[in-house]
Amino acid sequence: MGFGKGYGKVILFNEHFVVHGVPAIASAIDLTTDAEVVRHSGKGIDLIDNRKGTKGYSKEKYAHQMEALKRVTDYMKFNVEKNPIKITLGGNLPTFSGIGASAANLVAIVRAINDEFRLSLSDEEINNTAYEGERAFAGTPSGIDNTAATFGGLLWFKRGEKNAIERLAIKKPVEIVMGNTGVVANTKEVVAGVRERKEKYPERYNKIFEEAEELVYKAREALLNYDLKRVGKLMNENHRQLQDIEVDGKELNFLVDLARDKGAFGAKLTGGGVGGCMVALTPGKELQETVASAMEKEGFQVLRTKIG
């Protein structure tokens, strides 16, 4: 049996902007998708998905998942007709939109195939393979999700011909709360929508994108200085920029406002937007619990985790 795991992630700054070459900051979280791969006597790939999470997620994403598996195995030149496999997915990362569930599952699967068939793939090769699979979910993904899922840690990421990836070190991990709207978002459609509006309204969108680029450098400095109050204010500003490019949603804005009202240093959507998850910066267990409990009281699922 082959085994592999991939980390979940939170984008702290500049989802969507990152697709267009603006730097972003993301962090792996301490939750993973696990994959087991065994050879079997059937045909092709038999997929068993035991992950817990948003109702309807696996069904909604099934066609994307099967396309992703084909992309991944083709990219690896792994012949599933000659080597039929059974893949079982599990782990403690739930299937919420916006926490890198698709990337984590692809990294885990590639690692498990690599393990079972002794392919000797490096982490970089695993990352590149998972990126190819991510295209099924996001159309033109930035690569930030699979990078966080593969390498872990707090990352500075800039998309380019060769992606610029830098690990950032902060004084100590910081508690966050991730609130799930329960709305399953189609990332591919949301990314395409931003691209269309950017082409239709270039002057307005270019201004927002320039502001987002200025902001992320300030955020990097604030994180490295461990100035968490400033990090929170910049998260709030980044959420406004994401609202301006129309990737927010009613449930997301409700949770963002609720988190701020309960004392979060900052809060914003995270990931593809429209539905999925938001993130609140809540240093210390007490503040984390106050914010998380308030969201649960309103009927939302939450994750209590850390960044950095």
- The whole-number pLDDT of residue 180 equals 93
The tokens describing 61, both together, are: 């994403």
Q: How far, in Å, CA of 40 to CA of 56, rounded?
A: 28
The tokens describing 37, both together, are: 């791969």
Is the domain of 50 the same as that of 147? yes
Is the domain of 75 the same as that of 116? yes
Which residues lie closer than 8 Å to 183 by C-beta, 6 or more apart?
97, 249, 251, 274, 275, 276
Q: How far, in Å, CA of 228 to CA of 214, rounded?
A: 18
Residues in the chain, overall count: 308
- Phi then psi for 24, rounded to 5 degrees? -140, 160
**Percent composition of the chain: helix, strand, coil (DSSP 3-state, to 5):** 45, 25, 30
Q: What is the DSSP letter of 82?
A: T
- The whole-number pLDDT of residue 62 equals 85
Q: What number of other Cβ atoms are within 10 A of residue 227's Cβ?
A: 13
Is the domain of 146 the same as that of 11? yes
- The whole-number pLDDT of residue 55 equals 76
- The whole-number pLDDT of residue 59 equals 78
- The residue range of the domain holding 141 is 2-168
| Full DSSP string of 257-283 | HHHHHTT-SEEEEESS-SSSEEEEE--
Question: CATH number, domain at 150?
Answer: 3.30.230.10
The tokens describing 121, both together, are: 């793939």
Residue ending a domain, among 149, 168, 187, is 168
Q: Which amino acid would we find at residue 59?
A: K
Is the domain of 303 the same as that of 283? yes
The yes-or-no answer on residue 145 being catalytic is yes
Q: In which residue are the tokens 């997301």 written?
A: 252
Answer for the pair 183, 251: CB distance below 8 angstroms, yes or no: yes
- The whole-number pLDDT of residue 154 equals 95
Answer for the pair 175, 290: CB distance below 8 angstroms, yes or no: no
* Residue among 35, 98, 130, 100 nearest 275 (CA): 98
Q: What is the DSSP letter of 183?
A: P
- The whole-number pLDDT of residue 188 equals 83
Q: How far, in Å, CA of 66 to CA of 265, rounded?
A: 40
Residue ending a domain, among 103, 136, 168, is 168
Is the domain of 159 the same as that of 267? no
Answer for the pair 16, 247: CB distance below 8 angstroms, yes or no: yes
Is the domain of 149 the same as that of 190? no
Question: CATH number, domain at 238?
Answer: 3.30.70.890
Residue ending a domain, among 168, 203, 230, is 168
- The whole-number pLDDT of residue 140 equals 77
Which residues lie closer than 8 Å to 227 by C-beta, 6 or more apart?
none
Between vectors from CA 270 to CA 266 and to CA 273, what angle results, nearest 5°?
A: 125
Active-site residue, from 49, 115, 123, 145: 145
Number of domains in the chain: 2
Mean pLDDT of successive 10-residue segments in the chain (308 residues)?
96 94 94 96 92 78 91 95 95 88 96 97 96 88 89 92 90 96 86 94 96 98 98 98 96 98 97 92 98 98 93
Radius of gyration of the chain (CA): 19
- The whole-number pLDDT of residue 98 equals 81
The tokens describing 296, both together, are: 């649960």
